[in-house]
Amino acid sequence: MKIGRLFLAGVLVSALSMGLAQAKIPAAPMDDAAKAKAEEAKAKAADAAKKEAEQLAKAQDRVAERYKKGQGKGKAAPAKPAKK
């Protein structure tokens, strides 16, 4: 009986301590320089994402054109020889 109560007490203490350990500390307020730097980083990331999306679209268009050209010939695309 004592072992069960000790086990239950241990579980209760660890559950409560986990809740306290996961509590978040509020973020410090940002000054104007930090806000400007964050906005600049966000703009750069958005620009990079836009460029990557354009490059992906161009690559997909090239692959689609190559596929369409290969369909009209009626033969399979040449396979690369296996390396030994």
**What integer pLDDT is reported at residue 38 of this predicted model?**
92
The answer to whether position 13 is within a domain reads no
Name the more confident of 2 and 65: 65
The answer to whether position 9 is within a domain reads no
The answer to whether position 42 is within a domain reads yes
Q: For the chain, how many structural domains are there in total?
A: 1
How large is the average pLDDT for residues 30-47?
93
Please check the confidence at residue 23 and state whether its pLDDT lies above 80: no
The answer to whether position 45 is within a domain reads yes
| pTM of the entire predicted model | 0.47
Please check the confidence at residue 54 and state whether its pLDDT lies above 90: yes
**Residues near 30 by Cβ (< 8 Å), separated by ≥ 6?**
38
The answer to whether position 1 is within a domain reads no
User: Domain range holding 51?
Assistant: 35-68
Alpha-carbon span 42 to 29, nearest angstrom: 18
